Amino acid sequence: GAGVSQSPRYKVAKRGQDVALRCDPISGHVSLFWYQQALGQGPEFLTYFQNEAQLDKSGLPSDRFFAERPEGSVSTLKIQRTQQEDSAVYLCASSPRPLLGTDTQYFGPGTRLTVL
Amino acid sequence: AQTVTQSQPEMSVQEAETVTLSCTYDTSESDYYLFWYKQPPSRQMILVIRQEAYKQQNATENRFSVNFQKAAKSFSLKISDSQLGDAAMYFCAYRSETSGSRLTFGEGTQLTVNP
């Protein structure tokens, strides 16, 4: 079966542009997560969906960041008016159910965003 | 807030030898879960091993094992019989039910395996 896929793999944006990053989770997975990974750092949590409901968006760094999952499958992370500090790898992960115990999250390959 | 610290930015090991990667964490909770993830250059994060805090027995997965010291808040990863394919960035991560579904990651340790 296919894993988590993300597109595009690489995105270059000029400062001030809007970008949209797509995540296709494993089919049927209920939980979906977005993380931001700066160069040389560990991933940092951005937001969490259970089906179409965004249950936790406490990690979004500013109101320029917006995520949606309207039909409970594909998710899009949108960044408005990009700034240089937004340059990072954006990781998406999914899990078959609401997380319990040591349930694993299955990660995608990430989108590397570079803001010039 | 929970924090995870990996004090070794880089480690190296000879092929077939054993290496231990360190991880400490800070939490006030008694029930939580710990993970080691591997991130190769392709960037796809892969789960290596996991441990429930309430279990005293250390988790093992083939050549990978952990040394979980709850009182010391330490969770180290031991890789035995290291292979070239083990070369990657390794991240220690923490999750608890009260912190929701988020994983809190450490800064990572870059492991090099020398032939």
State pLDDT tens for residues B11-24.
Answer: 999 999 999 999 99
Q: Do A48 and B102 touch (CB under 8 A)?
A: yes
As given in the structure block, the two tokens for residue B93 are 């991560």
Judge whether residue A1 has pLDDT over 60: no
> What is the Cα–Cα distance from A3 to B10, expressed in whole angstroms?
29
As given in the structure block, the two tokens for residue B71 are 């009182």
Judge whether residue A41 has pLDDT over 80: yes
Alpha carbon B85 to chain centroid, angstroms: 17
Q: Beta strand A65-68 with A75-79: parallel, antiparallel or unpaired?
A: antiparallel
Please compute the mean of the pLDDT values over residues A53-69 and round it to a whole number.
95
Q: Do A41 and B108 touch (CB under 8 A)?
A: yes
> What is the Cα–Cα distance from A14 to A8, expressed in whole angstroms?
16
Closest chain B residue to the Cα of A101, Cα to Cα: B33
Distance from CA of B24 to the nearest CA of A (A): 14
Read off the pLDDT band of A103 (50, 70, 90). confident
As given in the structure block, the two tokens for residue A100 are 């319990």
For residue B97, what are the contacts with CB-CB under 8 A and spacing of at least 6? B31, B32
Three-state SS at A110: coil
Judge whether residue B33 has pLDDT over 80: yes
Q: Do A107 and B103 touch (CB under 8 A)?
A: no
Read off the pLDDT band of B43 (50, 70, 90). confident
Task: Give backbone dihedrals phi and psi of A84, rounded to 5 degrees, phi first.
Answer: -60, -35
- Closest among B11, B7, B30 to B92, alpha carbons compared: B7
Q: Do B35 and A102 touch (CB under 8 A)?
A: yes
Read off the pLDDT band of B98 (50, 70, 90). confident
Judge whether residue A111 has pLDDT over 60: yes
Summarised one tens digit per residue, pLDDT across range B48-60 is 999 999 998 999 9
Average pLDDT, chain A: 94
> What is the Cα–Cα distance from B13 to A115, expressed in whole angstroms?
36
Residue scoring higher pLDDT (B47 or B30): B47
A interface mutation test: which of B3, B5, B66, B103 has the most A CBs within 10 A?
B103
